[in-house]
Chains A and B, each alone.
Chain A
Amino acid sequence: MNVDHLLLGFSLATTPVNLLFAFLGVLLGTIIGALPGIGPSAGVAVLLPVTFGMSPVTAMIMLAGIYYGAMYGGTITSVLINTPGESASVMTTLDGYQMALKGRAGAALGMAALGSFIAGTISVVLLMIAAPPLAEWAVTFGPPEYFALMVLGLTTLASLTGGSMLKGLAMAVAGLLLGTIGIDLMMGEPRYTFGMVELYDRLDFLPVAVGLFAIGEIVYNIYRPVRVDPIKATLSGLLPTRQDWRDSAGAIGRGTAIGFFVGVLPGAGATLSSFLAYATERRVSRHPEKFGTGVIEGVAAPESANNAASTGALVPLMALGIPGSGTTAVMLGALTLYGLQPGPLLMSTNPEVFWGLVASMYVGNVMLLVLNLPLAPVFASILRIPYSVLVPIIIGIALFGVYSVENSIFNVAVAILFGGIGFFMRVYGYPPAPLVLALVLGPMLEKALRQSMQMSLGSVDIFFNRPVSAGILAFALLALVYPLISGMIARRRSRAVADYAQTPAK
């Protein structure tokens, strides 16, 4: 790590314009996170076109602010209406809502804000330490290693995305296939274009992302309107007591460590990290039976973990150019739209983007804390606006935004088509994140595959002869096979328990 780089970052992050957009990012992120039915992926995708007039540094600062702001915003709904604003806040509902019922909503939100701040700040330090050497190492990677890394990202996301692994896999493959649309860059042959000129230059990721994440979700809310009924909680006492700190200190530390390292893994992300942090806290607790009844460490652990994970997810994105989640996939797409080349060379060719982002995250975390402690009641009052009133606003911004990317009505039609598809995917449990990630990675993955096989004169052995690519592919296989094996073991165990229960006592 170079101190000059960090100073460069702070000099960029503290300009009035960047401070303003960091503030707007965390503010909008908190609101987006607080609204049930629209998560950070949708928020970043919908607001991405708004950043087109900005410099890449300012744009990334704002998008990252939306991302980690949404992590905190999800807590408000988890605590006040027992509904997670986004999937990473699911575990917070268990104890957060119980605390609110006991009149301690303020303490829950306060500890979530402070835990998120501590976790966010520590994980920015870890990002700063981990990403540059990883990027330096990754410069030595060839196409086979890149191919293996992208396969790992896709398989872990497909298998860890929740619900059926087969559906996650099907979506990842569909995304890769959609990524082949357009003129083949090596041979110049058009693929799946069906004579449509608009498809010659590939299927843009943004209309697909906005369609699946935002319009699909909005259409789902039109189908089944969200009824938000916040409890009348007192939000006084936002600053935790000394006993709260004593109970939560370990949870914040463990949550930060788990969150950051899980976030770094491609495909794992904030949701899994909050599950693991909560489970760990329960395991190490002296009173595990109290979890779920409103203990403050049950809020501190998952909230610290999901905030640390959102920063951890920036490590593979910035160091390798490989996103590990739907949101970071959209951010990767944003980098390419700003004319930057994501990958290990980004830090040396455009150090201002990485270091400006890192420095802004220190500032952004302070803003988030300052914003959230006194303004928690204001954010809570947003929940009283009927969601159906927000629907036209979100759709209006989404449609205009998609049009503005290439001034193309065709893109708007694509977003609407994928909005319809996204609705049915939502109803029948097909996750959209693997599809979007695969669409972004698809062209890079195919290029790495073809370059690798050119290097090996057509032999696939090249992926297994090189230790790094072989190791990564082994992990990818494990990511696919492990859920199947653990599922089989769990089924066999529950069958054995059921058989034992049915056996008459002698």
Chain B
Amino acid sequence: MTRADFIGGLVLSAFFGAALWEGWSFQYGTEFAPGPGFAPVWLSAIGLCVSLLIAAHGLLAMRSPERSAAAPELEKWGLVRVVLTLLGLGAMIFLVESLGLALSILLFLLYLTLVVQRHGAAVGIASSVGTVVFVYVVFVYFLEVPVPKGPLGF
């Protein structure tokens, strides 16, 4: 339990707090039984207590130099790769409508292997194209899943 836990506890508290706020707007109970709001309210309240406890433990641990030193620190370049990957995944979602699912995933995988992971062109292209061809054959031809198609017809 460290500074990261203190912040993590606060983030979770915000999540459960917001859920509690929203949960109050649901009908709490009927005459003899819990209503749609019963579980959301109680779960949010319990979650809020547990996450505040996590934050409190983190706060206490920040005073202990040994435990603070053992806290995981995010590596800068690793985090850059993660952000680039998640941004790429987000962009892929927006491209599906215009380019189709297969082409969007192919572009994402090329971006992932060549830009984020910095593979050589041969490895990056082979693994990306190979993956998309394989999953397209399995899902579209064998399992007959209808996928959004792009301008190239797949």
Contacts and interface: CB of A to CB of B under 8 A. Distances in A.
> Chain A interface mostly helix, strand, loop or mixed?
helix
B42 to A, nearest CB: 10
B135 A169 contact: no
Contacts of B98: none
A184 interface: yes
B47 A180 contact: no
B44 A177 contact: yes
Contacts of B147: 400, 403, 407
B59 interface: no
Interface in A155-204: 164, 166-167, 169-170, 173-174, 176-177, 180, 184, 186-187, 189, 191-192
Contacts of A52: 143
Given A177-B40, A223-B78, A450-B38, A393 B51 contact: no
A470 to B, nearest CB: 20
Given A392-B109, A428-B4, A407 B146 contact: yes
B43 A173 contact: yes
Nearest to A192: B22
Contacts of B138: 50, 400
Interface string A134-155: 0000000000000000000000
Nearest to B131: A396
Contact of B131 (A397, A419, A420, A429): A397
A412 interface: yes
B14 to A, nearest CB: 12
Given A392-B109, A395-B109, A400-B105, A192 B40 contact: yes
A192 B23 CA distance: 8
A405 to B, nearest CB: 9
Interface residues of B, number: 74
A388 B117 contact: yes
Contacts of A458: 29, 31-33
Nearest to A223: B78
B82 to A, nearest CB: 5
Contacts of A166: 50, 53-54, 57
Interface in B1-48: 1, 4-5, 8, 12, 15-16, 19, 22-23, 26-27, 29-40, 43-44, 46-47
B151 interface: no
Nearest to A183: B36
A53 B85 contact: no
A239 B108 CA distance: 46
Contacts of A453: 32-34
Nearest to B136: A400
A413 B96 CA distance: 11
B75 A224 contact: yes
A109 interface: no
B36 A189 contact: yes
A423 interface: yes
A416 interface: yes
A228 to B, nearest CB: 15
16 contacts: A53-B142, A166-B57, A176-B43, A186-B36, A192-B40, A223-B82, A392-B112, A396-B132, A400-B101, A400-B139, A400-B145, A419-B86, A423-B82, A428-B72, A430-B8, A449-B38
Given A180-B39, A396-B109, A446-B39, 10 more contacts: A177-B43, A222-B85, A223-B81, A388-B117, A392-B112, A393-B131, A396-B134, A416-B89, A427-B72, A430-B8
Interface of A: 49-50, 52-53, 164, 166-167, 169-170, 173-174, 176-177, 180, 184, 186-187, 189, 191-192, 219, 222-224, 388-389, 391-393, 395-397, 399-401, 403-404, 407, 409, 412-413, 416, 419-420, 423, 427-430, 446, 449-450, 453-454, 457-458
7 smallest CB-CB distances across A and B, nearest first, come from A184-B36, A396-B131, A173-B47, A223-B78, A454-B33, A404-B145, A400-B135
